[in-house]
């Protein structure tokens, strides 16, 4: 009987060791770190180890940001416009930046090409901001269940919105004076935002309006430069993956 009990205990011990081994990030002079519930301070002997911080990363807010830079209609397509937005928003300070997810997964240009539109999240609040001018912005709107907004007549050139009188590339259709449409306005999209030719047009909006002209006003040659509006979709938060550099733990992914 004792032999059977000892054998079972030995099996449980081996299984426990193997289970913990699957949860470790590697062996270090200070001991392997158990991913998920190791709470030791980051010291030199743990340099290079990783863990999940169970306290999690806080959810981030949604933003509607006008760029500091201007661009011709050759944006490199929608993906190129997204990249331009990310570069501009990272390079400049703006109201609320510290509570935003400024990364490729969350930053998109508020723009439509001939067939596709980048759309905001549904039923979500977005705050205005102006890249490089931290005093501008702070006003907000909420999208409906179909990701459409802004459901108001706010002048986008006012300080509480973008705080600047400017044209913006868009090619976004209008449902009515207070709602955009998540569809392309037409064929004026600088050949899917790939050309700066003066003989080709792009559709633009203008901030100093309180109706659908804010995103859908007139056409202009693709050789001219306009700003972009960039949407920063909110992050949901969650456990943070952390890396020990030998001095402190730092978040490496949300």
Q: What domains can be seen in the chain, in order of their start residue?
A: 2-55 (no CATH), 62-232 (3.10.100)
- In angstroms, rounded to a whole number, what is the distance separating the alpha carbons of residues 24 and 9? 23
Is the pLDDT at 142 greater than 50, yes or no?
yes
pLDDT at 249: 77
* The residue to which tokens 């209008």 are assigned: 174
pLDDT band at 55 (very low <50, low <70, confident <90, very high): low
Token output for 192: 């899917």
- In angstroms, rounded to a whole number, what is the distance separating the alpha carbons of residues 61 and 100? 5
Torsion angle (degrees, nearest 10) of CA 39, 43, 46, 50: 50
Which one has a higher pLDDT value, 33 or 229? 229
Q: Are residues 134 and 95 in contact, defined by beta-carbon separation less than 8 angstroms?
A: yes
Tell me the mean pLDDT in the region 214-240.
91
Strand positions, DSSP E, the chain: 50-57, 62-66, 107-109, 125-130, 133-142, 167-169, 172-176, 179-184, 201-206, 218-221, 229-232, 238-244, 249-253
pLDDT band at 129 (very low <50, low <70, confident <90, very high): very high
Tell me the mean pLDDT in the region 156-183.
98
Tell me the mean pLDDT in the region 95-104.
94
């Amino acid at each position: 009987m004792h032999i059977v009990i000892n054998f079972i205990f030995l099996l449980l011990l081996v299984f426990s060791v193997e289970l913990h081994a699957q949860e470790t990030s590697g062996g270090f002079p200070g001991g392997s770190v158990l991913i998920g519930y190791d709470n030791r301070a980051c010291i030199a002997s743990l340099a290079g180890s990783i863990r999940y911080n169970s306290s999690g990363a806080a959810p981030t807010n949604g933003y509607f940001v006008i760029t500091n830079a201007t661009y011709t209609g050759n944006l490199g397509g929608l993906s190129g416009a997204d990249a331009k937005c990310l570069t501009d928003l990272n390079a400049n300070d703006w109201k609320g930046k510290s509570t935003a997810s400024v990364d490729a997964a969350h930053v998109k240009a508020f723009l439509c090409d001939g067939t596709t539109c980048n759309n905001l999240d549904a039923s979500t609040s977005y705050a205005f901001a102006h890249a490089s001018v931290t005093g501008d912005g702070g006003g907000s709107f909420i999208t409906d269940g179909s990701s459409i907004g802004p459901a108001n007549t706010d002048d986008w050139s006012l300080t509480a919105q973008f705080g600047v009188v400017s044209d913006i590339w868009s090619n976004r259709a209008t449902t009515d004076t207070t709602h955009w449409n998540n569809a392309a306005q037409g064929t004026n999209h600088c050949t899917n935002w790939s050309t700066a030719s003066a003989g080709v047009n792009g559709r633009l909006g203008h901030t100093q309006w309180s109706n659908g002209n804010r995103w859908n006003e007139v056409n202009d040659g693709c050789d001219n430069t306009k700003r972009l509006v960039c949407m920063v979709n909110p992050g949901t938060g969650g456990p943070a993956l952390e890396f020990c550099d030998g001095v402190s733990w730092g978040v490496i992914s949300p």
